Protein backbone atom coordinates (compact mmCIF):
# COMPACT_ATOMS: atom_id res chain seq x y z
CA UNK A 1 0.00 0.00 0.00
CA UNK A 2 1.23 3.49 -0.85
CA UNK A 3 0.73 6.27 1.68
CA UNK A 4 -1.55 9.13 0.77
CA UNK A 5 0.17 12.19 -0.67
CA UNK A 6 -0.76 15.75 0.22
CA UNK A 7 0.74 18.67 -1.70
CA UNK A 8 0.00 22.30 -0.97
CA UNK A 9 1.59 25.71 -1.42
CA UNK A 10 4.76 26.58 -3.32
CA UNK A 11 7.44 23.98 -3.89
CA UNK A 12 10.30 26.37 -3.28
CA UNK A 13 12.06 25.63 0.04
CA UNK A 14 9.84 22.58 0.48
CA UNK A 15 10.60 18.89 0.77
CA UNK A 16 8.87 15.54 0.87
CA UNK A 17 8.57 13.97 4.30
CA UNK A 18 6.64 11.27 6.10
CA UNK A 19 4.56 12.81 8.87
CA UNK A 20 3.16 10.89 11.82
CA UNK A 21 -0.18 12.67 12.16
CA UNK A 22 -1.16 11.00 15.44
CA UNK A 23 -0.32 7.93 17.49
CA UNK A 24 -1.69 4.76 15.96
CA UNK A 25 -1.23 2.09 13.26
CA UNK A 26 0.92 2.55 10.14
CA UNK A 27 -1.97 4.30 8.40
CA UNK A 28 -1.30 7.45 10.47
CA UNK A 29 1.86 7.98 8.38
CA UNK A 30 1.34 10.35 5.45
CA UNK A 31 3.65 11.57 2.71
CA UNK A 32 3.41 15.35 2.64
CA UNK A 33 5.17 18.42 1.40
CA UNK A 34 6.59 20.43 4.28
CA UNK A 35 9.10 23.18 4.93
CA UNK A 36 12.71 22.39 4.13
CA UNK A 37 14.85 23.05 7.23
CA UNK A 38 17.64 25.62 7.23
CA UNK A 39 20.91 25.08 9.12
CA UNK A 40 21.70 27.48 11.94
CA UNK A 41 24.87 28.02 13.91
CA UNK A 42 26.69 24.69 14.10
CA UNK A 43 24.12 22.73 12.12
CA UNK A 44 24.46 20.86 8.84
CA UNK A 45 21.73 20.48 6.25
CA UNK A 46 21.92 16.88 5.02
CA UNK A 47 20.19 15.64 1.89
CA UNK A 48 19.02 12.19 2.96
CA UNK A 49 19.76 9.38 0.53
CA UNK A 50 18.63 6.46 2.68
CA UNK A 51 17.15 5.87 6.12
CA UNK A 52 15.63 2.94 8.02
CA UNK A 53 12.55 1.91 9.93
CA UNK A 54 13.53 0.61 13.37
CA UNK A 55 11.53 -0.97 16.15
CA UNK A 56 11.94 2.36 17.93
CA UNK A 57 10.17 4.18 15.10
CA UNK A 58 7.28 1.73 15.38
CA UNK A 59 7.09 2.14 19.16
CA UNK A 60 6.94 5.93 18.87
CA UNK A 61 4.36 5.84 16.07
CA UNK A 62 2.07 3.44 17.95
CA UNK A 63 3.13 4.76 21.37
CA UNK A 64 3.91 1.36 22.82
CA UNK A 65 5.85 1.68 26.04
CA UNK A 66 5.81 0.17 29.56
CA UNK A 67 3.04 1.62 31.74
CA UNK A 68 5.61 3.05 34.14
CA UNK A 69 7.00 5.23 31.35
CA UNK A 70 3.68 6.21 29.75
CA UNK A 71 3.30 9.71 31.21
CA UNK A 72 6.95 10.82 31.04
CA UNK A 73 7.22 9.58 27.45
CA UNK A 74 4.06 11.47 26.46
CA UNK A 75 5.55 14.60 27.98
CA UNK A 76 8.79 14.04 26.06
CA UNK A 77 7.35 12.95 22.71
CA UNK A 78 4.09 14.88 22.62
CA UNK A 79 0.71 14.50 24.29
CA UNK A 80 -1.67 13.77 21.39
CA UNK A 81 0.87 13.19 18.61
CA UNK A 82 4.64 13.31 18.21
CA UNK A 83 5.96 16.82 18.79
CA UNK A 84 8.31 16.22 15.87
CA UNK A 85 6.01 14.43 13.41
CA UNK A 86 8.87 13.36 11.13
CA UNK A 87 10.22 10.13 12.60
CA UNK A 88 13.41 8.27 11.72
CA UNK A 89 16.67 8.17 13.66
CA UNK A 90 19.38 6.95 11.28
CA UNK A 91 20.43 8.03 7.83
CA UNK A 92 23.09 8.39 5.20
CA UNK A 93 23.32 11.38 2.91
CA UNK A 94 25.24 14.38 1.58
CA UNK A 95 25.91 17.65 3.36
CA UNK A 96 24.18 20.27 1.22
CA UNK A 97 24.78 23.37 3.35
CA UNK A 98 26.32 24.34 6.69
CA UNK A 99 25.62 26.92 9.33
CA UNK A 100 28.04 29.82 9.87
CA UNK A 101 29.74 28.20 12.88
CA UNK A 102 30.37 24.74 11.39
CA UNK A 103 34.04 23.70 11.40
CA UNK A 104 34.08 19.90 10.98
CA UNK A 105 32.14 19.40 7.76
CA UNK A 106 31.61 21.08 4.43
CA UNK A 107 29.10 20.86 1.57
CA UNK A 108 29.59 17.70 -0.46
CA UNK A 109 30.70 15.53 2.46
CA UNK A 110 29.11 12.08 2.44
CA UNK A 111 27.97 11.29 5.97
CA UNK A 112 26.02 8.83 8.05
CA UNK A 113 24.34 9.73 11.30
CA UNK A 114 21.92 9.22 14.13
CA UNK A 115 19.45 11.99 14.86
CA UNK A 116 18.36 10.47 18.17
CA UNK A 117 15.33 11.95 19.90
CA UNK A 118 15.34 14.81 17.39
CA UNK A 119 14.15 12.26 14.78
CA UNK A 120 13.62 13.80 11.31
CA UNK A 121 15.32 11.20 9.10
CA UNK A 122 12.18 10.17 7.19
CA UNK A 123 12.45 13.18 4.92
CA UNK A 124 14.43 14.52 1.99
CA UNK A 125 16.42 16.84 4.28
CA UNK A 126 17.33 17.02 7.94
CA UNK A 127 19.41 19.41 10.05
CA UNK A 128 21.96 17.88 12.40
CA UNK A 129 24.43 19.43 14.84
CA UNK A 130 28.04 18.94 13.78
CA UNK A 131 28.90 17.65 17.28
CA UNK A 132 26.11 15.10 17.22
CA UNK A 133 26.35 11.44 16.26
CA UNK A 134 27.53 12.07 12.72
CA UNK A 135 30.65 11.16 10.76
CA UNK A 136 31.94 10.64 7.23
CA UNK A 137 30.35 7.46 5.92
CA UNK A 138 32.46 4.33 5.33
CA UNK A 139 34.00 4.49 1.86
CA UNK A 140 33.18 0.86 1.07
CA UNK A 141 29.46 1.08 1.86
CA UNK A 142 26.71 2.36 -0.41
CA UNK A 143 23.99 4.68 0.88
CA UNK A 144 21.65 1.91 1.96
CA UNK A 145 24.37 -0.05 3.74
CA UNK A 146 25.65 3.06 5.51
CA UNK A 147 22.16 3.97 6.72
CA UNK A 148 21.78 0.50 8.22
CA UNK A 149 24.85 0.71 10.47
CA UNK A 150 24.40 3.51 13.07
CA UNK A 151 21.43 2.43 15.22
CA UNK A 152 22.24 -1.22 15.77
CA UNK A 153 26.00 -0.86 16.01
CA UNK A 154 26.09 2.13 18.37
CA UNK A 155 23.51 0.43 20.60
CA UNK A 156 25.67 -2.70 20.78
CA UNK A 157 28.79 -0.62 21.49
CA UNK A 158 27.03 1.24 24.29
CA UNK A 159 25.91 -1.89 26.11
CA UNK A 160 29.11 -3.84 25.59
CA UNK A 161 31.19 -1.00 26.97
CA UNK A 162 29.09 -1.08 30.12
CA UNK A 163 29.82 -4.78 30.55
CA UNK A 164 33.55 -4.85 29.87
CA UNK A 165 33.57 -6.77 26.59
CA UNK A 166 36.94 -8.28 25.72
CA UNK A 167 38.93 -11.31 24.60
CA UNK A 168 37.78 -14.63 26.05
CA UNK A 169 34.46 -13.33 27.34
CA UNK A 170 31.54 -15.68 26.80
CA UNK A 171 28.72 -13.63 25.31
CA UNK A 172 25.17 -14.71 24.56
CA UNK A 173 23.26 -12.48 22.15
CA UNK A 174 19.49 -12.95 22.40
CA UNK A 175 17.64 -11.86 19.26
CA UNK A 176 20.82 -12.19 17.24
CA UNK A 177 19.23 -11.81 13.80
CA UNK A 178 17.71 -8.33 14.33
CA UNK A 179 19.21 -4.91 13.71
CA UNK A 180 20.93 -4.66 17.09
CA UNK A 181 21.57 -8.39 17.26
CA UNK A 182 23.44 -8.69 13.96
CA UNK A 183 25.61 -5.74 14.97
CA UNK A 184 26.18 -7.18 18.45
CA UNK A 185 27.37 -10.52 17.10
CA UNK A 186 29.91 -8.81 14.85
CA UNK A 187 31.17 -6.37 17.47
CA UNK A 188 31.48 -9.04 20.15
CA UNK A 189 33.45 -11.20 17.70
CA UNK A 190 35.68 -8.24 16.83
CA UNK A 191 36.55 -7.78 20.51
CA UNK A 192 37.55 -11.42 20.78
CA UNK A 193 34.54 -12.78 22.64
CA UNK A 194 33.16 -16.30 22.26
CA UNK A 195 29.70 -15.61 20.87
CA UNK A 196 26.56 -17.69 21.26
CA UNK A 197 23.68 -16.41 19.13
CA UNK A 198 20.05 -17.10 20.00
CA UNK A 199 17.70 -16.88 17.02
CA UNK A 200 15.33 -19.03 14.97
CA UNK A 201 16.74 -22.02 13.14
CA UNK A 202 16.19 -20.26 9.82
CA UNK A 203 18.73 -17.57 10.77
CA UNK A 204 21.54 -19.71 12.17
CA UNK A 205 23.48 -19.54 8.90
CA UNK A 206 23.28 -15.76 8.89
CA UNK A 207 24.55 -15.26 12.43
CA UNK A 208 27.36 -17.78 11.95
CA UNK A 209 28.46 -15.83 8.87
CA UNK A 210 28.65 -12.75 11.11
CA UNK A 211 31.00 -14.42 13.59
CA UNK A 212 28.86 -16.42 16.03
CA UNK A 213 30.71 -19.46 17.38
CA UNK A 214 27.56 -21.23 18.56
CA UNK A 215 23.84 -20.94 17.88
CA UNK A 216 20.71 -21.83 19.82
CA UNK A 217 17.31 -22.16 18.17
CA UNK A 218 14.95 -20.51 20.64
CA UNK A 219 11.96 -22.31 19.09
CA UNK A 220 13.41 -25.65 20.23
CA UNK A 221 15.15 -24.96 23.54
CA UNK A 222 15.64 -22.44 26.31
CA UNK A 223 19.25 -21.30 26.51
CA UNK A 224 18.93 -21.15 30.31
CA UNK A 225 18.40 -24.92 30.47
CA UNK A 226 21.91 -25.54 29.20
CA UNK A 227 24.84 -26.06 31.52
CA UNK A 228 26.83 -23.30 29.78
CA UNK A 229 27.25 -20.04 31.69
CA UNK A 230 28.00 -16.66 30.16
CA UNK A 231 29.87 -13.53 31.22
CA UNK A 232 27.38 -11.38 29.31
CA UNK A 233 23.78 -12.04 28.31
CA UNK A 234 22.64 -9.29 25.95
CA UNK A 235 18.92 -9.12 25.19
CA UNK A 236 18.77 -7.07 21.99
CA UNK A 237 14.99 -7.23 21.53
CA UNK A 238 13.59 -6.78 25.04
CA UNK A 239 11.94 -10.21 25.07
CA UNK A 240 14.31 -12.27 27.21
CA UNK A 241 13.00 -13.23 30.65
CA UNK A 242 15.24 -11.80 33.36
CA UNK A 243 15.03 -15.04 35.36
CA UNK A 244 16.35 -17.04 32.40
CA UNK A 245 19.15 -14.57 31.80
CA UNK A 246 20.30 -14.59 35.42
CA UNK A 247 20.19 -18.37 35.52
CA UNK A 248 22.57 -18.48 32.58
CA UNK A 249 25.07 -15.97 33.97
CA UNK A 250 28.48 -16.92 35.31
CA UNK A 251 29.45 -15.46 38.71
CA UNK A 252 29.95 -11.74 38.27
CA UNK A 253 28.27 -11.83 34.87
CA UNK A 254 26.12 -9.02 33.43
CA UNK A 255 22.60 -9.09 32.03
CA UNK A 256 22.02 -6.30 29.51
CA UNK A 257 18.69 -5.50 27.91
CA UNK A 258 17.33 -2.81 25.62
CA UNK A 259 13.90 -3.07 27.25
CA UNK A 260 12.84 0.17 28.92
CA UNK A 261 16.25 1.78 28.47
CA UNK A 262 15.32 4.33 25.83
CA UNK A 263 18.02 5.19 23.31
CA UNK A 264 21.64 4.34 23.98
CA UNK A 265 24.03 7.25 24.51
CA UNK A 266 26.06 7.70 21.35
CA UNK A 267 28.58 10.10 19.85
CA UNK A 268 30.34 11.08 16.67
CA UNK A 269 33.49 9.16 17.68
CA UNK A 270 31.37 5.99 17.83
CA UNK A 271 30.60 6.38 14.13
CA UNK A 272 34.25 7.14 13.38
CA UNK A 273 35.17 3.83 15.01
CA UNK A 274 32.42 1.99 13.12
CA UNK A 275 33.61 3.56 9.86
CA UNK A 276 37.04 2.07 10.53
CA UNK A 277 35.59 -1.34 11.39
CA UNK A 278 33.45 -1.37 8.26
CA UNK A 279 36.31 -0.36 5.99
CA UNK A 280 38.53 -3.05 7.54
CA UNK A 281 35.84 -5.68 6.99
CA UNK A 282 35.01 -6.35 10.64
CA UNK A 283 31.35 -5.34 10.37
CA UNK A 284 28.84 -5.21 7.55
CA UNK A 285 25.27 -4.08 7.18
CA UNK A 286 22.57 -6.73 7.18
CA UNK A 287 19.59 -5.61 5.09
CA UNK A 288 16.53 -7.76 4.59
CA UNK A 289 14.33 -5.44 2.53
CA UNK A 290 14.29 -1.97 1.02
CA UNK A 291 11.27 0.25 0.36
CA UNK A 292 10.80 3.57 -1.40
CA UNK A 293 9.75 6.45 0.85
CA UNK A 294 6.20 6.25 -0.51
CA UNK A 295 5.83 2.72 0.88
CA UNK A 296 6.91 3.44 4.43
CA UNK A 297 3.63 2.11 5.83
CA UNK A 298 4.57 -1.31 4.46
CA UNK A 299 8.01 -1.01 6.03
CA UNK A 300 6.41 -0.32 9.42
CA UNK A 301 4.08 -3.29 9.03
CA UNK A 302 6.97 -5.61 8.29
CA UNK A 303 9.03 -4.40 11.24
CA UNK A 304 6.03 -4.94 13.52
CA UNK A 305 5.87 -8.63 12.60
CA UNK A 306 8.91 -9.10 14.82
CA UNK A 307 10.44 -11.41 12.22
CA UNK A 308 12.73 -9.11 10.29
CA UNK A 309 16.34 -10.05 9.68
CA UNK A 310 18.78 -7.21 10.19
CA UNK A 311 17.56 -3.86 8.91
CA UNK A 312 14.69 -2.48 6.88
CA UNK A 313 15.96 0.34 4.67
CA UNK A 314 13.97 3.16 3.09
CA UNK A 315 15.36 4.79 -0.05
CA UNK A 316 14.66 8.52 0.07
CA UNK A 317 16.61 9.83 -2.92
CA UNK A 318 18.33 7.97 -5.73
CA UNK A 319 20.15 11.00 -7.13
Structural domain boundaries enclosing 224:
152-257
In a domain, 125, yes or no: yes
Do 250 and 172 reside in the same domain of the chain?
Answer: yes
Q: Say what the pLDDT of residue 189 is.
A: 98
Residues 90, 14 share a domain: yes
Domain co-membership, 34 together with 137: yes
On whether residue 276 sits in a domain, the answer given is no
Does residue 77 form part of some domain? yes
Asked, for residue 30, whether it belongs to a domain, the answer is yes
Indicate the residue among 257, 273, 306 that finishes a domain: 257
Whichever domain contains 239, its CATH number is 3.40.50.720
CATH number where 63 lies = 3.90.180.10
Among the three residues 257, 272, 301, which one is the final residue of a domain in this structure? 257
Alpha-carbon span 214 to 196, nearest angstrom = 5
> What region, left, alpha or beta, does residue 9 occupy, with left being phi > 0 and alpha being psi -120 to 50 degrees?
left
Collapsing DSSP to helix, strand or coil, 39 comes out as coil
Kindly give the confidence (pLDDT) of every residue in the chain, 319 residues in length, as a single tens digit, with 9 standing for 90 and above: 445 444 444 446 999 999 999 999 999 999 999 999 999 999 999 999 999 999 989 999 988 777 777 677 777 777 788 889 999 999 999 999 999 999 999 999 999 999 988 999 999 999 999 999 999 999 999 999 999 999 999 999 999 998 999 999 999 999 999 999 999 999 999 999 999 999 999 999 999 999 999 999 999 999 999 999 999 999 999 999 999 999 999 999 999 999 865 668 899 999 999 999 999 999 999 999 999 999 999 999 999 998 899 999 999 997 6
Same domain, 180 and 163: yes
CA dihedral 272, 277, 279, 281 (to 10 degrees): -170
Which of 257, 274, 299 is the C-terminal boundary of a domain? Answer: 257
Task: Identify whether the C-beta of residue 120 lies closer than 8 Å to the C-beta of residue 86.
Answer: yes
- Domain count of the fold of the chain: 2
217 and 180 fall within a common domain: yes
Domain shared by 158 and 138, yes or no: no
Q: 264 in a domain, yes or no?
A: no
Is the domain of 228 the same as that of 297? no
Residues 6+ positions from 71 with CB-CB distance below 8 Å: none
- Max CA-CA distance within the chain? 66
* Domain assignment present for 64: yes
Clarify whether residues 163 and 117 are in a common domain. no
Please check whether residue 280 lies inside any domain of the structure. no
Residue 273 lies in a domain: no
Task: Give DSSP secondary structure letters for 178-232.
Answer: BHHHHHHHHHHHHTT-EEEEEE-GGGHHHHHHTT-SEEEETTT--GGGSS--EEE
What pLDDT score was predicted for residue 4? 47
Same domain, yes or no, for 11 and 143? Answer: yes
92 in helix, strand or coil?
strand
Residue pair 30/3 in contact (Cβ under 8 Å)? The answer is: yes
Co-location of 128 and 25 in the same domain: yes
- Look up the pTM and report it: 0.91
Return d(Cα 190, Cα 157) in angstroms, integer. Answer: 11
Does residue 115 sit in the same domain as residue 221? no
Same domain assignment for residues 109 and 160:
no
Amino acid sequence: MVVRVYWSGEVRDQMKAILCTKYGPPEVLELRQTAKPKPKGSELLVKVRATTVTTGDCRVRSFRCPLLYWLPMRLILGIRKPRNPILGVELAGVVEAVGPKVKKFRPGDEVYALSGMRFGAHAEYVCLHENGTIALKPDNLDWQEAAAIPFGATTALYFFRKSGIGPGKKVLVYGASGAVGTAAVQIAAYYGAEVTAVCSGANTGLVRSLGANHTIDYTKEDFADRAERYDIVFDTVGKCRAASARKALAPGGAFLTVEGKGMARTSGPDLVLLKQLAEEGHIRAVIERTYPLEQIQEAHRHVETGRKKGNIVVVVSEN
